[in-house]
Amino acid sequence: MPHLTAAGALRAGAAVGMGVGVPGYAHPLLAPAEWAALARPGAPVHWAVLDVAGGPGDRPDPHCRKTAGLLRRAGVRILGHIGMAGGTRPYEEVVADADRFLDWYRVDGYYLDRCPTERTDLPEVRRIAATLETLGDDGAHLVLGHGVHPYPGYAETADQLVTFSGPWDEYRWSQAAPWTADYPAEKFVHLVHGVPRTHLEEALRVARWQGAGTVFMTDHRARPGHNAPFQALPGYWDEIVSRIGRGVSE
């Protein structure tokens, strides 16, 4: 179990608004139950990522458009999935994907997957983020999908940073970077797969101790040839909703 520092204790107490961020279920035709579950009244869902075909696709998808509308009416924020390829995609391609997501699915923001983490890449990520934030009438909610702790300057670039994405065996012994204590819990996202039901409460407690306000926990595991543990509904979805809804016990 990670050691609870004084800073961690303060962040844990501040994480009263913990909710779920869904990094991208399978296509609505393949995962109808997953998408429908997000629209249930009272589900503490902060956002869900729409990934049509590694991005917005080549043309509007009627099934994805219908699903996006359903979630929007339920009050769930929809984010378009944009691959950053570790910072190698050209600026123009990223912005074009964002425009299509907005035009076709009226997304509320963007999830920049495989976002770079180094200080040298920060200026270009800032440039992209500044452009995406101007799209739409109400701005855009931006989540940088680093998967690890990036250079601290990224925290001022977007609404949220994914500072952990990986298996439970690593997460349970992980530590938050000291600089994260300077920010509120709603700044950070943790995505954890392979969490047994018997360790769900422990995993949620680790998230609170480390100051993550948005989480996704699943019992599915990454397997060779099927590295998509987040694309299906966790076997204990109702339990996650219940535990987060009433707050994780200290």
Percent of the chain with pLDDT over 70: 90
pLDDT band at 139 (very low <50, low <70, confident <90, very high): confident
Tell me how long the chain is. Answer: 250
Would you say residue 245 has pLDDT above 60? yes
Residue 6 predicted with pLDDT over 70: no
Burial (CB count within 10 angstroms: exposed 0-12, middle 13-18, buried 19+), residue 240: buried
The domains located in the chain, with CATH, are 6-246 (3.20.20.80)
Quote the tokens at residue 110: 């963007």
Q: Which residue has the tokens 């934030």?
A: 133
pLDDT tens digits, 144-171 = 999 999 999 999 999 999 999 999 999 9
Q: What is the pTM of this model?
A: 0.91
CB atoms within 10 A of CB 184: 13
Q: Is the pLDDT of residue 110 over 70?
A: yes
- What pLDDT does 228 receive? 84
Token pair for residue 104? 């076709």
Element containing residue 192 per DSSP (H, E): strand 188-193
- Cα–Cα dist 125/250, whole Å: 37
The pair phi, psi for residue 189, each rounded to 5°, is -125, 135
- In whole angstroms, what is the distance from residue 123 CA to residue 103 CA? 27
Those residues whose C-beta lies under 8 Å from the C-beta of residue 155, and which sit 6 or more positions away, are 161, 179, 180, 183, 187
Q: Quick: pLDDT tens for 53-109.
A: 999 999 999 999 999 999 999 999 999 999 999 999 999 999 999 999 999 999 999
Are 156 and 133 in contact, with CB atoms under 8 Å apart? no
* Mean model confidence pLDDT for the chain: 90
C-beta separation of 80 from 105 below 8 A: yes
Contact 225, 29 (CB under 8 A): no
pLDDT band at 1, cuts 50/70/90?
very low
> Residue 138: pLDDT above 90?
no
Strands (E), 84-169: 109-113, 141-145, 160-167
pLDDT of residue 225: 53
Residue 99 CB neighbours (<10 A): 14
Q: How many CB atoms lie within 10 A of CB 162?
A: 26
pLDDT of residue 249: 46
Residues 11-32 have a mean pLDDT of 78
pLDDT digits 0-9 by tens, 171-204: 999 999 999 999 999 999 999 999 999 999 999 9
Confidence of residue 224 (pLDDT cuts 50, 70, 90): low
